[in-house]
C-alpha cells in the first residue's frame, strides 16, 4: 500500500462515465442558456417574459420535456458516483480518504463561489460541495439504504411545496419572482447589461439567494438525495456500463414509460392553469420534479448502451473528452454566455428569443466537441481540472504531455 494519493490517470478512467458526463455537459446548456439570455423568472414561468408562440413555444416545450431538470439530475447522480470512486481508490492506496475528500470539495466550493458571484449566479458547484459534506459519511452504506435515504430526501421538497401550495398566503413575495412586473424586468435587464460593477452586484445578490433560500428549500434535498442514489448506481455498476444490454433496455423502457408521460401531463396541466403561480409554482412543478428522474435514468441507459456498442467511435471519443474536461467546459459555457448576453460583451440579454438561444446552444456544442479532444492530446487535464487537482493533491500536477 502506497502512502500518497494521486489523480486518476488516463488508463484508470471509466469510459462510460466520461461519455455520460460529456453528454450531460452539453445537455445542461439547453436550460442554462435561458438564464444567460432572459430574466430569471422566465426559467420557471415561460409566460413571464418573451414570445411563447409558434416555434418559440415548441422550443420551450421540447426543452422542458427533454432537458429541464434531466441533466442536473444526471450531474447529481454522477457526483455521487464520483465520491465513491475517488474515496475507494484513495482508501485502496492509502487506507484513508477523508482528507482528500474534504480538500477536493473545499476547493470546488471556492471555484463555485467565484463562478456564482463573479460570473453567473446559476452555479451548481456550491451545492455539490456542500452536499458532499454529509454524503461522504454515508458512502459505505448498502445501495438500497442509499436509495431509500435519497428518495426520502428528494421527497422533503415536494412535501414543503405541496404544503405551501395549500397555503399560498404564506408564500410571501413569491409572486414577485414568479411574474415580475415591467419595472422589475427593466431593472434586471439594466443591471445585467450595465457596467461590470452592476453585473457583479446582480450576480452576487442572486447567487446569495440561491446559496441560502433556494438551497434550503430545494437543492439540499434534490441534489443531496440524488447524490446518494448516484452512489448506489455506482455500486450496482449501472452508471459505469457494467450491466447487460438487456438490463439497460428494460431500464430505458420502464424509466421513459413512467417519466415522459408524467412530465408531459405536467406541461398540459400548467398551460391549462395559464401558468398561475398558485398552481404552477407548487403542485404544477411536481410532475417534472419527479418525472425528470425517470427520463434521466432512461438517458443514462441510452448512453450505457451506446458506450457498450462498437459504433459511433468519433462521437464517443468527443463526448468522453468533454466529460474529462467537465469543469472547464461548464465554466466555459458560462463565460461564453455572459460574453454574448451581458454588458461585458454584446449585451444581448432580453433580446434573443428561444429559437435564437437554441441556435447559440448548438454552436457552443460544436465548439466544445471540436476543441476538447485536441486539448487533451496535448495536456493531461483541462485548465480548471489542473488547478482543482493541484490544489486537492497539494502538489503541482504534470500538465503538458510529452511530445512524440
Mean pLDDT of 100-126: 96
pLDDT at 248 over 80: yes
pLDDT at 121 over 60: yes
pLDDT for 9 equals 52
Degrees to nearest 5, angle at CA 251 with 76 and 88: 45
pLDDT for 246 equals 97
Q: Provide the pLDDT confidence category of residue 402 given band limits of 50, 70 and 90.
A: confident
For residue range 308-351, what is the model confidence (pLDDT) as tens digits? 999 999 999 999 999 999 999 999 999 999 999 999 999 999 99
Residue whose C-alpha is closest to residue 281's, from 397, 166, 133: 166
Whole-model pTM over 0.85? yes
pLDDT for 1 equals 41
Alpha-carbon dihedral 382, 83, 233, 229, rounded to 10 degrees: -120
pLDDT at 174 over 80: no
Task: Give me the percent of the chain exceeding a pLDDT of 90.
Answer: 88
pLDDT for 334 equals 98
pLDDT at 238 over 70: yes
pLDDT for 109 equals 98
pLDDT at 391 over 90: yes
pLDDT at 166 over 70: no
Q: Provide the pLDDT confidence category of residue 252 given band limits of 50, 70 and 90.
A: very high
Tally Cβ neighbours within 10 Å of residue 159.
Answer: 10
> Could you tell me which residues come within 8 angstroms of residue 158 by beta carbon, excluding any fewer than 6 positions away?
286, 289, 290
Contact in structure between 239 and 147 (CB atoms under 8 Å): no
pLDDT for 165 equals 64
For residue range 342-368, what is the model confidence (pLDDT) as tens digits? 999 999 999 999 999 999 999 999 999
pLDDT at 99 over 70: yes
Q: How far apart are the C-alpha atoms of 338 and 118, rounded to whole Å? A: 11
Contact in structure between 338 and 345 (CB atoms under 8 Å): yes
Mean pLDDT of 157-177: 69
Q: Is 113 exposed, middle or buried (0-12, 13-18, 19+ CB in 10 A)?
A: middle
pLDDT for 2 equals 44
pLDDT for 92 equals 92
Residue whose grid cell is 447487460: 244
Residue 310, SS3 per DSSP: coil
For residue range 16-65, what is the model confidence (pLDDT) as tens digits? 999 999 999 999 999 999 999 999 999 999 999 999 999 999 999 999 99
pLDDT at 146 over 90: yes
Q: Which ranges in 167-239 belong to alpha helices (H)? A: 174-178, 182-192, 196-209, 220-235
Contacts for 242-249: CB closer than 8 Å, 24+ residues apart? 243/304, 245/305, 245/308, 248/301, 248/302, 248/304, 248/305, 248/308, 249/301, 249/305
Q: What is the mean pLDDT of the chain?
A: 93
Q: Provide the pLDDT confidence category of residue 211 given band limits of 50, 70 and 90.
A: very high
Mean pLDDT of 113-131: 96
Mean pLDDT of 211-215: 94
Q: How far apart are the C-alpha atoms of 94 and 4, rounded to whole Å? A: 6
Residue whose C-alpha is closest to residue 294's, from 263, 255, 320: 255
Residue whose C-alpha is closest to residue 294's, from 65, 61, 34: 65
Looking at per-residue pLDDT, the higher value among 6 and 233 belongs to 233
pLDDT for 7 equals 54
Q: How far apart are the C-alpha atoms of 169 and 285, rounded to whole Å? A: 18
Mean pLDDT of 118-139: 96
Q: How far apart are the C-alpha atoms of 223 and 129, rounded to whole Å? A: 11
Residue 400, SS3 per DSSP: strand
Residue whose C-alpha is closest to residue 301's, from 26, 144, 74, 80: 74
Q: How far apart are the C-alpha atoms of 316 and 311, rounded to whole Å? A: 9
Amino acid at each position: 500500500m502506497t502512502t500518497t494519493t494521486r489523480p486518476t490517470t488516463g488508463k484508470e478512467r471509466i469510459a462510460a462515465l466520461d461519455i455520460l458526463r460529456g453528454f450531460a455537459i452539453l445537455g445542461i446548456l439547453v436550460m442554462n442558456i435561458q438564464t444567460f439570455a432572459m430574466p430569471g423568472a422566465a426559467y420557471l414561468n415561460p409566460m413571464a417574459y418573451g414570445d411563447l408562440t409558434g416555434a418559440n413555444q415548441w422550443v420551450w416545450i421540447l426543452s422542458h420535456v427533454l432537458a429541464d431538470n434531466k441533466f442536473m439530475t444526471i450531474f447529481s447522480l454522477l457526483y455521487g458516483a464520483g465520491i465513491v470512486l475517488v474515496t475507494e481508490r484513495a482508501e485502496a492506496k492509502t487506507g484513508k480518504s477523508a482528507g482528500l475528500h474534504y480538500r477536493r470539495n473545499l476547493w470546488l466550493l471556492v471555484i463555485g463561489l467565484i463562478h456564482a458571484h463573479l460570473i453567473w449566479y446559476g452555479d451548481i458547484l456550491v451545492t455539490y460541495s456542500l452536499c458532499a459534506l454529509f454524503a461522504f459519511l454515508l458512502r459505505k452504506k448498502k445501495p438500497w439504504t442509499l436509495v431509500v435515504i435519497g428518495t426520502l430526501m428528494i421527497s422533503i421538497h415536494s412535501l414543503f411545496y405541496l404544503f405551501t401550495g395549500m397555503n399560498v398566503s404564506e408564500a410571501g413575495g413569491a409572486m414577485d419572482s414568479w411574474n415580475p412586473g415591467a419595472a422589475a424586468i427593466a431593472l434586471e435587464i439594466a443591471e445585467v447589461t450595465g457596467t461590470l460593477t452592476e453585473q457583479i452586484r446582480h450576480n452576487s445578490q442572486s447567487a446569495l439567494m440561491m446559496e441560502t433560500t433556494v438551497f434550503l428549500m430545494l437543492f439540499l434535498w434534490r441534489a443531496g438525495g440524488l447524490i446518494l442514489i448516484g452512489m448506489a448506481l455506482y455500486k450496482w455498476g449501472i452508471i459505469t456500463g457494467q450491466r447487460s444490454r438487456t438490463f439497460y433496455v428494460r431500464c430505458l423502457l420502464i424509466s421513459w414509460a413512467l417519466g415522459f408521460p408524467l412530465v408531459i401531463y405536467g406541461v398540459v396541466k400548467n398551460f391549462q392553469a395559464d401558468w398561475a403561480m398558485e398552481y404552477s409554482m407548487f403542485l404544477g412543478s411536481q410532475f417534472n420534479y419527479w418525472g425528470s428522474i425517470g427520463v434521466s435514468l432512461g438517458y443514462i441507459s441510452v448512453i450505457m448502451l451506446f458506450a457498450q456498442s462498437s459504433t459511433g467511435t468519433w462521437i464517443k471519443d468527443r463526448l468522453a473528452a468533454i466529460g474529462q474536461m467537465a469543469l472547464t467546459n461548464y465554466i466555459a459555457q458560462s463565460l461564453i454566455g455572459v460574453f454574448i448576453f451581458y454588458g461585458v460583451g454584446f449585451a444581448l440579454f432580453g433580446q434573443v428569443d428561444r429559437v435564437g438561444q437554441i441556435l447559440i446552444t448548438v454552436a457552443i456544442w460544436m465548439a466544445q466537441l471540436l476543441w476538447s479532444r485536441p486539448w487533451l492530446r496535448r495536456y493531461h487535464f483541462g485548465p480548471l481540472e489542473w488547478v482543482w487537482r493541484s490544489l486537492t493533491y497539494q502538489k503541482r500536477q504534470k500538465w503538458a504531455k510529452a511530445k512524440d
